[in-house]
Structure 1
Amino acid sequence: MEVTIFVIASLAAFVVNLSMAIFVYLKNRKVARNKLFSLLCVMIGTWCLYPTIMASNLDAHSMLFLIRIIYLFAIFCPSIYLHFILELLGEAKRKKHILFPCYLFSLTFVSLGFRDWFIAGITSSNVYKYIIVPGPLYTVYVSVFAAMIIYGFYVLLDKYKIWSGFKKNQCKYLFIGFLLAFTGGLMHFLSAFGIEEKIPHDIFLVMFTSITAYSIVKYRLMDIRIVFRTVMTYSLMTAFVTLFFILVIYLPNLLFGPINRMSSFFLMGIISFGFALLFNPLRNRIENIFVNLFHPERESYYRELRKHTRELSTILEIEVLLNFIIEKVVRTLGSSLGYLYVLNENSGIYECKVTLPKEDHLQKSPDSKNILVTTLQERKNVLLEEDLALLPSRVQDAIQSIFNKLRIKLVLPLSFRDQMVGFLCLGGKLSGDIYTNLDIQLLSLFSDEASIALENAKLFQQVKNMKDYNEGILQGMRSGVISLDGNGRISAFNSQAERITGLSRKYIIGKEYSVLPIPLNKVFESGYKGGKSYADQEFSIEVNKGQGKRIPAMINTSVLYEETGSEIRQVICVLTDLTKLKELEAEVRKAERLATMGLIAGELAHEIKNPLVSIRTLAQLLPDKYGDEEFRNEFMTLALKEIDRIDEMVNKLFNLTLKKEKGEYVKVSLSDLLEEILEDMSIQLSAKRIQIIKKYLSQPNVFADRVELKKAFSNIITNCAEAVDEKGKIYIDIVQKKNIRLPNVVTFKDDGPGFSERSIERAFDAFYTTKQKGSGLGLFVAYRVIRNHDGRIHIGNWERGAMVTVELPFYSQDHPDKSKKVH
């Protein structure tokens, strides 16, 4: 068999068509148009073997038999072609009445394929070794073949007039592809009628197959530039390699004569090395030339993409970011409109946040169960309108209606960590072109960066919202809040803290805790360096240093540690201004004093009136019984006794209401003070052989007027001693509790009769007593002293007798100044 250009073109067409058939079928074997195109490629490829068989060395009988077999494949080409066109345009079901007679025609001619009526025989040819001799029905076959092809062209042109945009281009390129195939087929038919081929007709079939195959796989027929680019790149590479071999092998033979074997091996080594060295750079250079030829916009796209991608990472405001994304994508690609949807994680709805043009109203927000959303989540890549044909019919119709309603041609999902955080809808291009593969690639790259930027912006917004929320809480609190970070610098300082300390938030934020007024700096120092916390501790805070102004405040602190547990993460201090509370307490004490004075005056009047009545009665009887010496002596004794009683009462009242000098508040150990009192009262206690049972669980200190506090405790112990019988018991307990405002608790208990209900109600009233010789001032004085020390005193009973509980504040060197007078 002589290998000619016709044989090479025949074999190339067979290989290309068969390869494309397999590739397209495997790409999506479930889609009807893929199966039809694969079948069409098999039929055309087998038919293309005609020149190879005609140029073979077979005998005439065998050659005729093979040609008739090949024509069995050719007979089905027009029917499958028309079916493919109608399926691709969505007209196959509606035009079944046309397809039926077409397939009937093919089946009829198959039955006649081995009859002389169709192919009469073969004869010699100048182009091939042999050509067919047409039978009487061969002309009928060619006519019907042409009619089917022309009808297919008519359908394409009809759609071309109706459609616009990418579909219009689709019809155009289908028309071009099949026109090339029909040209090749026409050349083959004309050769059977004696018109010789000047160039191989199979070249047109290779071109048709390449163009249509790429179009059917991508369903986007306009992008044949990639096929042309690849074909042209390797064609030029072949030319360069051929030229290289001619220069290296034939030119030395012409110049220097035949080359021996050793020189030949050396020369082949040089050729191989040069080929390996130049192949990739040469291929890349040629490919870039065609890329710039077919995709002149690529460089500008990449340049814009790199620029916008860098800018994405710098935008943290979510509204700004969303506007940036949609504006840059729409402007760069030249889209007519755009909608950007973002997932609301709380509701599960994708909300339309931004539109372009701005005057477009925001579209309805679909939820996570919307058919478009679920399809995007399953595909995880760009969804084009032309891709809808690959979807099931139910899904296809539903999404097509959404595309039509929104006037969009493309949807780009924005995914982050396998979750679709949003999607971008784009309308058709203003130029009327459709979105190319290059557009899709660039959009996919941009969407990855946009998804990350969107998630970062969401996190930033959440942090900002949380910060604003916390800041709102801090500023709305009635207490001052101060916070230190792990470096000992002030990170939070609300408006109440500004008011209490007299410091400006702008000045204080970021500074070290040492700039805080006394004793706050000491409190933070003990918390930051020693991990110490305070609970309900009262301090006097110095305001406007040097002016002597101090504000009473209650301080609570918390020390927060890192997960490791060793490093301090934050120290938080809550300040409560006690100024109003102290003023209220002062008012209460003043009211109590007035009430006490009224009570004292009433009791005093009652107490003085009794002896005065006795004296008055005796004075009235004195004139009549003056001569009675016994009466005079009794009168003198009784009068002096009642006067002494009045004098004693007046002295007690005088001592009770006397305004003393300012008491000196010092550090006082409660246990030492109680031991001192018990020692002073040892004789009194021993007289009744009273047993003192002490239980000092702790030995706390208080900030107190030692003399006054000793008087209060002495009165309480005296009451206990007077209440118990001989050999009675008095229990004294000291305990220091944690995390309360008054942690130091002293409890006095006895085994006497206890308090009656009336005594519990009136025990702290002046002059109230249930004892025959009592003055009724012991517990009254104790109550006043404890209150003046910002403490509390309670009375009650326990299972054995009476109980008095005294609660006193925590000791601090920075305790508020006790300059008030103690009464």
Structure 2
Amino acid sequence: MFLNSAAAPTLAAIVIQLVLGLVVFQANRRRKPNQCFLLLSIFIAIWLGSLYSVFSASSTEVAAFFIRQASAAAALIFTAANFLRLSIAERNRQWRGILRESWLWMIAAVAVVAFCQTRFFLEGARFSQPPGALIALAVPVYGKASVLYVVYFIITGLAVIFTYARDAKRATGIRRAEFAFILTGAVATLGTVSIAFALGFVVDRSRLVWFAPFRILLFSLIVAYGIATQKVMDVGFFLRRAMSYVLLTAYLLALYGLIWWLVFAFFNPLLPATARSAAHITAAVVVAFAMAPARGISQTFANRLFMGTRGLDFQSTMSQATAILKSVSTLSDLLERFAKTIAEAVNTERIFILLPGRSGYIQHYPPVDRARAIGGIEFSRADALVEFLGRNQNPIVMDELHRVRSTPELQRVAKQMQSLQIAVAMGIFSREHLAGVMLLGPRLSGQIYGSMEQNALQVLCGQLAVAIDNAQLFTEVQNARIYNEILLQNLTTGVVAASNDGLITVFNNEAEQIAELSSRELLEKPVSHLPLPLREVINETLRTGERQENRELVLSAPDGNVIVRASSSIFHGQDGQMLGALMVLTDITALKRLEMQIRRSDRLASLGTLSAGMAHEIKNPLVSIKTFAQLLPERYQDSDFRETFSNLIGHEIDRIDSLVNQLLRFARPAKPILRPLHVHELLEKSLILVSHRLYQKEIKLSRSWNADVDTIRADADQIEQVFLNFFLNAMDAMKHGGELMVATEIGPAVEWPSAVTGMNGEQHEVLRVTVRDNGEGIKSEDIAHVFDPFFTTKDYGTGLGLSVVHGIIQEHGGHIEVESELARGTAFHILLPLVRFAEEVAAA
């Protein structure tokens, strides 16, 4: 019964050890450290199995046999441990290389295994049950040469410890961590052995046999964690946490025992029946309340105890990062300060931050010279590393890629990271979207990026994503403001803006030149500081909220008046609330001067065209006068002759005077004066001026005055210039022969939607004057350009005539429409606001 009880823990340890070896092997079958750990687990299981057989042996012969096998298995454990060391030291080493470098170990192990089977090592076994022991244990009877086994065991053990410590010192990254976990497991196992040896002096050793198999399991568990776990902790953090729990457990047990003893000692004389229960309850309550503060104290003590093993100081780094994120202004400043903080925290010299670009992710830190295309890391969205980060949203650690089962995708990721000498790739995620990539190089201390560091970096990257959004928004706003300021200051039109409370907020460079005022003296000042014409426009817009379009204003200046065209409107905020008024100014002084020159040139061109007709019209009266002058001496006494020719000469002289006055009025530039006049009268006068040319080209003239009222408010000379221009163009279009039709009619503006309306939006009656010819017509694609300056389809002329008359009609509040069809002719409709006057309108 006692024998089976002692063997049970060993049997359980065998099963756990084999399962542990298989689990590590299955984690990555192709990885040599995983294979070597499975081999080590098999040898440990053989050793445990031999111990189990020794505990279960019923005879000394069986016990002696399995003692020999247990000793032989111990030698093989050292050899397997050396295999494990070599597989970790060089990642790509194959079994042939491992075996070649371990030939001395294997020879020694085979020799020891053979030696253990001789009587020189073990003569036999015997059962011994010391006084007070619960069970009888098989005790080996060693041979005379057993000291050789002890020497081998000491030399091999020291060799294993020395080579592991040497390789751990040389290794970096995950290899150093794996060596550190193996050494930690060995130290922990030796510690349990020492504790068991010390307890053997106060406790029956037969009771301690129960825990003996689990000492090697403690070693195997620690090694398995260091080899097979994907997210491995740094060994320093592992030790701090383990020590913290050990100290916490020891403190709470001691506290529980002390409270139990005190309460029991106090209540036992008074209530013997309930003293024990009261002591347990009181001790449990005290321990429950003491657990929270005790945990903090134990962690602090453990951190101080392992001060040299501290990794990333998460609290300090987070505080620094938070301060950076709060004070950042631009994206470049944010990335620089954040990257330096992270590099200092994890102790690395290489850190890169990539943000999305047009084709993928482009390096933004460290800054690169994109103009020269020098250096810089760039990932396309189809790169394996980017796709893996975006899909898994977990850090990619180079050391961990070798600990998991390899796939084609992981191989591409590892190759990419290896080419860049990157140890960790972190995704910067914003709303589940990969908003950037942070790449970290190896740590200068040789430590790994453990699970604690990875978690801390993930939290910091999450904060960085928010800060990047804010910094990009801030940068965009700054760039937009600078762009708008540059654009505003370099506009060729003046811009003036006033806030809702009447303060000037914008006064750009062109506005300064137009108004000859300084923006420094006007900004944030009331609009009353503006010149009167500008002030009236912007005040009216602020007061009524209505648009003011194309208002011509005259500004007084020391070197002459400045003519500007002003348009204004209100602008609203995002919530629809009115923010103020905006006025755009265009200096049209030079344009007005050019317009006057063009009109003068057009008048002269038209005057030249009319010269022949005017000469003929003047010549006819002169013939009558000349005839009268020649006949007067001969027939002076003839009273009928004198009376007839006297009346005729007066009439002809009046006719010449009228023609000359019309010609002078047409040719002489004058400031436009708007006054009431009859359109029909102007049409008749204009037709008289072109009548001779109509006769020469054999063009038939048709009049149709359908308008019963023909009064408008206009400048007679300018309107006459318009009619003459259309008449001359019509005659030019008909070459020789044809018909010129001139008609007038009245209608409401609604009949002609393109007609102008009043300033307040009301529609009025319109007088339409139509000039139609049956000439060549105008191409449909040219109709939109007939009023453009310098556009002409003739072989001669400047192309300014229609542009000038279009401007004149617009100044009179009118509009011109064009209808044309090739080979059938063209019609120009001149729409002018009709004015009905109460009094009779004088002749033009």
The equivalent of 1:340 in structure 2 is: 352
**Separation in structure 1 between the aligned mates of residue 124 and residue 587 of structure 2, nearest angstrom:** 117
Q: Does 1:637 align with 2:648?
A: no
**Separation in structure 1 between the aligned mates of residue 723 and residue 342 of structure 2, nearest angstrom:** 88
**Separation in structure 1 between the aligned mates of residue 503 and residue 552 of structure 2, nearest angstrom:** 23
Alignment of 1:683-694 (within 5 A): 692=706
Q: What letter is aligned with 2:768?
A: F
**Quick check: 569-578 or 65-74, which moved more?**
65-74
Where structure 1 has 5 or more consecutive residues not aligned to the other structure, the ranges are 189-195, 678-688, 717-722, 761-778, 812-822
Is the CA contact (8 Å cut-off) linking 2:63 and 2:138 kept in structure 1?
Answer: no
The equivalent of 2:693 in structure 1 is: none
Q: Does 1:323 align with 2:347?
A: no
Q: What letter is aligned with 1:37?
A: F
**Quick check: 392-401 or 550-559, which moved more?**
392-401
Query: Aligned-pair distance for 1:284?
Result: 2.3
**Separation in structure 2 between the aligned mates of residue 782 and residue 166 of structure 1, nearest angstrom:** 89
- When residues 322 and 222 of structure 1 are mapped into structure 2, their CA distance, relative to the original with a 3 A threshold, is closer
The equivalent of 2:785 in structure 1 is: none
Query: Aligned-pair distance for 1:804?
Result: 5.6
Deviations 1:643-669 (A, max 9, x none): 322224314644775799988769x9x
The equivalent of 1:193 in structure 2 is: none
Aligned to 1:223, which of 230, 234, 253? 234
Task: Report the 3-state secondary structure (helix = DSSP H, G, I; strand = E; otherwise coil) of the residue aligned with 1:415.
Answer: strand
Is the CA contact (8 Å cut-off) linking 1:730 and 1:748 kept in structure 2?
Answer: yes
- When residues 377 and 49 of structure 1 are mapped into structure 2, their CA distance, relative to the original with a 3 A threshold, is same
Q: What letter is aligned with 2:284?
A: S
Is the CA contact (8 Å cut-off) linking 2:812 and 2:832 kept in structure 1?
Answer: yes
Where structure 2 has 5 or more consecutive residues not aligned to the other structure, the ranges are 197-203, 683-702, 726-738, 779-801, 836-843
Is the CA contact (8 Å cut-off) linking 2:329 and 2:474 kept in structure 1?
Answer: yes
Is the CA contact (8 Å cut-off) linking 1:556 and 1:573 kept in structure 2?
Answer: yes
Task: Report the 3-state secondary structure (helix = DSSP H, G, I; strand = E; otherwise coil) of the residue aligned with 1:350.
Answer: strand
Alignment of 1:528-543 (within 5 A): 532-533=546-547, 537-541=549-553, 543=555
The equivalent of 2:429 in structure 1 is: 415
- When residues 160 and 553 of structure 1 are mapped into structure 2, their CA distance, relative to the original with a 3 A threshold, is same
Q: Does 1:271 align with 2:248?
A: no
When the two structures are superposed, what TM-score results if normalisation uses the length of structure 2?
Answer: 0.66
The equivalent of 1:444 in structure 2 is: 458
Deviations 1:263-302 (A, max 9, x none): 4444433223222211222122212221233247679652
Q: What letter is aligned with 2:285?
A: F
Q: Does 1:208 align with 2:219?
A: yes
Query: Aligned-pair distance for 1:497?
Result: 3.8
Query: Aligned-pair distance for 1:425?
Result: 2.7
Q: What letter is aligned with 2:829?
A: T
**Separation in structure 2 between the aligned mates of residue 386 and residue 587 of structure 1, nearest angstrom:** 84
Aligned to 2:443, which of 428, 442, 452? 428
Alignment of 1:733-772 (within 5 A): 734=749, 735=752, 737=754, 746=766, 748=768, 755=773, 757=775
Is the CA contact (8 Å cut-off) linking 2:178 and 2:227 kept in structure 1?
Answer: no
Task: Report the 3-state secondary structure (helix = DSSP H, G, I; strand = E; otherwise coil) of the residue aligned with 1:225.
Answer: helix
Q: Does 1:461 align with 2:485?
A: no
**Quick check: 511-520 or 322-331, which moved more?**
511-520
The equivalent of 1:576 in structure 2 is: 586
- When residues 228 and 95 of structure 1 are mapped into structure 2, their CA distance, relative to the original with a 3 A threshold, is closer
- When residues 26 and 310 of structure 1 are mapped into structure 2, their CA distance, relative to the original with a 3 A threshold, is farther
**Separation in structure 1 between the aligned mates of residue 98 and residue 73 of structure 2, nearest angstrom:** 24
Q: Does 1:617 align with 2:627?
A: yes
**Separation in structure 2 between the aligned mates of residue 420 and residue 471 of structure 1, nearest angstrom:** 30
Q: Does 1:499 align with 2:513?
A: yes
**Separation in structure 2 between the aligned mates of residue 151 and residue 510 of structure 1, nearest angstrom:** 86
Q: What letter is aligned with 1:443?
A: L
Q: Does 1:354 align with 2:355?
A: no
**Quick check: 584-593 or 390-399, which moved more?**
390-399
Is the CA contact (8 Å cut-off) linking 2:354 and 2:362 kept in structure 1?
Answer: yes
Q: What letter is aligned with 2:127?
A: T
**Quick check: 345-354 or 729-738, which moved more?**
729-738
**Separation in structure 2 between the aligned mates of residue 387 and residue 329 of structure 1, nearest angstrom:** 21
Alignment of 1:73-84 (within 5 A): 77-78=77-78, 80-84=80-84
- When residues 348 and 504 of structure 1 are mapped into structure 2, their CA distance, relative to the original with a 3 A threshold, is farther
Query: Aligned-pair distance for 1:539?
Result: 1.0
- When residues 641 and 177 of structure 1 are mapped into structure 2, their CA distance, relative to the original with a 3 A threshold, is same
Is the CA contact (8 Å cut-off) linking 2:395 and 2:425 kept in structure 1?
Answer: yes
**Separation in structure 2 between the aligned mates of residue 713 and residue 241 of structure 1, nearest angstrom:** 111
Task: Report the 3-state secondary structure (helix = DSSP H, G, I; strand = E; otherwise coil) of the residue aligned with 1:95.
Answer: helix
**Separation in structure 2 between the aligned mates of residue 638 and residue 41 of structure 1, nearest angstrom:** 149
Alignment of 1:692-707 (within 5 A): 692=706
Q: What letter is aligned with 2:86?
A: L
The equivalent of 1:131 in structure 2 is: 138
Is the CA contact (8 Å cut-off) linking 1:517 and 1:543 kept in structure 2?
Answer: yes
Is the CA contact (8 Å cut-off) linking 2:769 and 2:831 kept in structure 1?
Answer: no
Deviations 1:145-184 (A, max 9, x none): 8898777667646745864677567546645645776999
**Separation in structure 2 between the aligned mates of residue 8 and residue 248 of structure 1, nearest angstrom:** 36
The equivalent of 1:720 in structure 2 is: none
CA-based RMSD: 6.5
**Separation in structure 2 between the aligned mates of residue 292 and residue 715 of structure 1, nearest angstrom:** 106
**Separation in structure 2 between the aligned mates of residue 498 and residue 348 of structure 1, nearest angstrom:** 46
- When residues 438 and 174 of structure 1 are mapped into structure 2, their CA distance, relative to the original with a 3 A threshold, is same
**Separation in structure 2 between the aligned mates of residue 50 and residue 759 of structure 1, nearest angstrom:** 118
Is the CA contact (8 Å cut-off) linking 1:211 and 1:227 kept in structure 2?
Answer: no
Is the CA contact (8 Å cut-off) linking 1:527 and 1:533 kept in structure 2?
Answer: yes
The equivalent of 1:309 in structure 2 is: 322
- When residues 63 and 580 of structure 1 are mapped into structure 2, their CA distance, relative to the original with a 3 A threshold, is farther
The alignment covers a number of residue pairs equal to 745
- When residues 561 and 109 of structure 1 are mapped into structure 2, their CA distance, relative to the original with a 3 A threshold, is same
- When residues 715 and 445 of structure 1 are mapped into structure 2, their CA distance, relative to the original with a 3 A threshold, is closer
Is the CA contact (8 Å cut-off) linking 2:565 and 2:585 kept in structure 1?
Answer: yes
Deviations 1:519-563 (A, max 9, x none): 6666667777766456xx32134657999955331537586785x
Is the CA contact (8 Å cut-off) linking 2:497 and 2:580 kept in structure 1?
Answer: yes
The equivalent of 2:302 in structure 1 is: 290
Aligned to 1:236, which of 247, 260, 263? 247
The equivalent of 1:681 in structure 2 is: none
- When residues 156 and 105 of structure 1 are mapped into structure 2, their CA distance, relative to the original with a 3 A threshold, is closer
The equivalent of 2:98 in structure 1 is: 95
**Separation in structure 2 between the aligned mates of residue 638 and residue 312 of structure 1, nearest angstrom:** 108
Task: Report the 3-state secondary structure (helix = DSSP H, G, I; strand = E; otherwise coil) of the residue aligned with 2:359.
Answer: coil
Query: Aligned-pair distance for 1:460?
Result: 2.9
Is the CA contact (8 Å cut-off) linking 2:816 and 2:829 kept in structure 1?
Answer: yes
Is the CA contact (8 Å cut-off) linking 1:120 and 1:135 kept in structure 2?
Answer: yes
Aligned to 1:585, which of 592, 595, 605? 595
The equivalent of 1:768 in structure 2 is: none
Deviations 1:593-627 (A, max 9, x none): 55566677765554333222222233323434456
**Separation in structure 1 between the aligned mates of residue 776 and residue 621 of structure 2, nearest angstrom:** 27
Is the CA contact (8 Å cut-off) linking 2:32 and 2:94 kept in structure 1?
Answer: no
When the two structures are superposed, what TM-score results if normalisation uses the length of structure 1?
Answer: 0.68
**Separation in structure 1 between the aligned mates of residue 705 and residue 453 of structure 2, nearest angstrom:** 100
- When residues 224 and 455 of structure 1 are mapped into structure 2, their CA distance, relative to the original with a 3 A threshold, is same
Task: Report the 3-state secondary structure (helix = DSSP H, G, I; strand = E; otherwise coil) of the residue aligned with 1:313.
Answer: helix
Task: Report the 3-state secondary structure (helix = DSSP H, G, I; strand = E; otherwise coil) of the residue aligned with 2:591.
Answer: helix
Is the CA contact (8 Å cut-off) linking 2:428 and 2:437 kept in structure 1?
Answer: yes
Deviations 1:364-402 (A, max 9, x none): 423224555455555544444433423638777776676
Q: What letter is aligned with 2:625?
A: I
Is the CA contact (8 Å cut-off) linking 2:24 and 2:228 kept in structure 1?
Answer: yes
Is the CA contact (8 Å cut-off) linking 2:766 and 2:833 kept in structure 1?
Answer: no
- When residues 787 and 265 of structure 1 are mapped into structure 2, their CA distance, relative to the original with a 3 A threshold, is closer
